[in-house]
């Protein structure tokens, strides 16, 4: 996360951090609305989704994207753009999100991003996920140096 922040700052962007697990809904909404883009970073995907849902941030993000705000997700931040994050269970510990009752995510894209393809320490688990899911869902494996860009719908 710190490397990503520094990279954005080198591009001349002002980065405002927001911890949704400890902020009020009013602070979250105000912060997301006033900034030019939304950047959920990495970490445990199940925990991130849980905190998005508990705080109501998921709805704020969807509203802001609908209004044209740019969304940039890294790792877990990209995985939550899918319909359901269940496919990532081998990579992230579901136990970190004990209050997450379902794995339905933001449903922004009709494919399933699989980050860290060919990157340690995730090489083996990414290959296992590909084997398990490549015939079931539209997986898009990407390495740490690749992006998926979605324009419009």
Active site residues: 75, 116
- 3-class DSSP state for residue 39? coil
Sorting pLDDT into bands at 50, 70 and 90, what band is 1?
A: confident
Please check the confidence at residue 53 and state whether its pLDDT lies above 80.
yes
Please check the confidence at residue 153 and state whether its pLDDT lies above 80.
no
> Given 3.40.50.150, 3.50.50.60, 3.40.1190.10, 3.40.50.880, which CATH number is that of 2-141?
3.40.50.880
Query: CB–CB of 114/82 below 8 Å?
Result: no
Residues 6+ apart with CB under 8 A from 119: 126, 143, 144
Determine if the pTM surpasses 0.95: no
Here the tokens at position 16 are: 């405002």
The 10s digit of each residue's pLDDT in 68-95 is 999 999 999 999 999 999 999 999 999 9
The percent helix, strand, coil of the chain (3-state, each to 5) is: 40, 10, 50
Domain boundaries of the chain, sorted by first residue: 2-141
**How far apart, in Å, are the Cα atoms of 48 and each of 41, 98, 103, 150?**
9, 12, 11, 22
pLDDT for the residue 2: 84
């Amino acid at each position: 996360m710190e490397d990503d922040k520094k990279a954005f700052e080198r591009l001349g962007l002002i980065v405002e951090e927001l911890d949704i697990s400890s902020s009020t809904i009013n602070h979250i909404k105000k912060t997301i609305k006033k900034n030019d883009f939304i950047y959920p970073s990495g970490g445990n995907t199940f925990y991130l989704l849980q905190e998005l849902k508990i705080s109501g941030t998921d709805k704020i993000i969807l509203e802001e994207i609908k209004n044209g705000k740019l969304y940039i997700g890294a790792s877990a931040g990209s995985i939550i753009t899918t319909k359901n994050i269940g496919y990532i269970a081998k990579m992230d510990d579901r136990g970190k999100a004990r209050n997450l009752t379902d794995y339905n995510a933001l449903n922004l894209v009709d494919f399933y991003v699989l980050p860290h393809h060919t990157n340690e320490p995730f090489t083996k688990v990414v290959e296992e996920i590909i084997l398990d899911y490549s015939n079931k869902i539209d997986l898009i494996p990407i390495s740490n140096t690749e992006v998926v860009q979605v324009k419009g719908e």
